[in-house]
Structure 1
Amino acid sequence: MRTELFMVLVRTFERFLALFIRWRKEPLMPVALLLASLGLWAFLGISDELGERETHQWDEKILLSMREPSDLAEPIGPDWLEESGRDLTALGGFTILTGLTLASIGIAVLLRRPRIAVVIAVAITSGMALVQWLKSGYDRPRPDLISHGTVVSNASFPSGHSTMSAVVWLTLGLLLARTQPSRAMRIYLISLSVLITLLVGMSRVYLGVHWPTDVLAGWALGAAWALGSWVIAVWWDRRSAALGDVVGN
């Protein structure tokens, strides 16, 4: 038994070593896989805690801290802040994300990057399907402590806006950054996509339509999905380039 376990560990180590050697020109690949795994682990951890009263109390405390104590129907801050919250939440809505996805696919096709177009289409459509499946599976009710600041029509967990904003904005940001020769531009594009994702998620809690744990789980799952899509895109590019070299020789 110990010999078999030892051999399994040796083979696993050899495979990881082979991956590191193969990806020596893409040092971020192992990091991306690690972060994607941590994101999935975080999502599963949050989902396991949904039934715990302690988590629910934490959700309620944060949600109520964003409302006027004298009138829970009103979020804290001036009227323009509430209006900004609605504008930000729209960046994670179906209409904006669908339009952005179609526009990005069109640009990739015009630039003769069909593999990027395929990755974008598959990553985002599969992400949408996954969110709907998870919502129906967990079937968590929306917050009922306060009135909602925008229209909602489905279950609460995970936050669809938070998940899909991470899937769409991060996937596009990572793929676009890969095409830029300037390191500063790559950092800027990725940082911008992360900022938009965070603002969309926070707006959902601010408007009272999601529990904080819905948003955290959505961020974790969406980021893992985006990183996984980036890894697939890089691997596909490398594989196609290698096949091209073989055919050329």
Structure 2
Amino acid sequence: MKARTFLPSWVAAEFGILSALAGAAAGLFAFALIAEEVVEGDAHGFDEAILLAFRTPGDTADPIGPAWLEIVMRDLTSLGSTTVLALITAIVVGFLITDGKRAAALFLLAATAGGGALSYLLKLGFDRPRPDLVAHLVDVHTLSFPSGHAMGAAVTYLTLGAIIVRTESRRRLKAYVLAVATGLTLLIGLSRIYLGVHWPTDVLAGWCAGSAWALICWIVALWLQRRGRIETTQDTPAQGP
């Protein structure tokens, strides 16, 4: 029987970095393409068709599905609010500090704050108004492109996932964390379209930009970790009895 062979750890690590770089580049490229379509007005037909598909024919104030679905979407969309994202970030930062990973906690704060600032600046730069095609099912007071909830969720949840993955050794836990982060990001973005407060291209652009930011943060975290600036699993202090 032939023995199984495995790639050296450094080869696997370099492949991971190249994959992350490719993913970040793809996200930024996709964002640029969407932004170009939005600025030129070519995305309007697509946006209208998707928004109307989430409404009962003949009544743009009535979303499709049972009444409980609207309640679920309202609850899901709150998971992408600034308050909830800040609270979750604070909880994870507290966990990392308690676990002896103070540098990772500081990096996480910088990464999420930077992503939030980027989202705000992009909104100001594109200055796109909210959809007026269908009724808004929640109150909104900011600009539309890119979706702050979609980008904020991607920045926060995916960056949190990336940091946790870089400070944990168990593969099963890594897969679980990334699956939860990705699922939450997708559901929050879809809820914004369902509730009629964002054009679909707003959400797509938010996902692209936020995912690219999270991947860049993962690369930076790995670079800092290799130089001893961010704790690895082996750096965590031993627990007392």
Q: TM-score range by the shorter chain?
A: 0.7 to 0.9
Summarize deviations over 1:130-164 as a string: whole Å, max 9, x none: 11111111000100011101110111000000001
Secondary structure class of the residue paired with 1:143: coil
Question: AA paired with 1:234?
Answer: L
Q: Find the counterpart in structure 2 of residue 230 from structure 1.
A: 218
Give the percent of matched residue pairs that are identical in Structure 1 and Structure 2: 46
CA distance in 1, matches of 2:55, 2:30: 28
Secondary structure class of the residue paired with 2:112: helix
Whether the 8 Å CA contact 2:27–2:211 is kept in 1: the answer is yes
CA distance in 2, matches of 1:151, 1:209: 8
Aligned pairs for 1:92-131 (under 5 A) are 92-131=80-119
CA distance in 2, matches of 1:62, 1:35: 26
Question: AA paired with 1:24?
Answer: V
1:40 matches 2:3: no
Aligned pairs for 1:206-225 (under 5 A) are 206-225=194-213
Q: Which has the larger radius of gyration?
A: 1
Whether the 8 Å CA contact 1:135–1:156 is kept in 2: the answer is yes
Summarize deviations over 1:51-89 as a string: whole Å, max 9, x none: 344411000000000001131101101110000000110
Question: AA paired with 2:203?
Answer: V
Whether the 8 Å CA contact 2:146–2:206 is kept in 1: the answer is yes
Question: AA paired with 1:58?
Answer: F
> Unpaired segments of 5 or more residues in structure 1?
1-20, 242-249
Question: AA paired with 1:218?
Answer: G
Aligned pairs for 1:143-158 (under 5 A) are 143-158=131-146
TM-score, L = length of structure 2 = 0.87
Q: Report the alpha carbon displacement of residue 25 of structure 1 after superposing the two structures with TM.
A: 5.3
> Unpaired segments of 5 or more residues in structure 2?
1-7, 230-241
Structure having the higher helix fraction is: 1
TM-score, L = length of structure 1 = 0.85
Question: AA paired with 2:96?
Answer: A
**Pairs aligned (count):** 221
Q: Find the counterpart in structure 2 of residue 163 from structure 1.
A: 151
Q: Find the counterpart in structure 2 of residue 78 from structure 1.
A: 66
Of 48, 51, 55 in structure 2, the residue corresponding to residue 63 of structure 1 is 51
1:50 matches 2:38: yes
Whether the 8 Å CA contact 1:115–1:233 is kept in 2: the answer is no
Of 191, 199, 202 in structure 1, the residue corresponding to residue 179 of structure 2 is 191
1:24 matches 2:7: no
Q: Report the alpha carbon displacement of residue 122 of structure 1 after superposing the two structures with TM.
A: 0.7
CA distance in 1, matches of 2:97, 2:54: 44
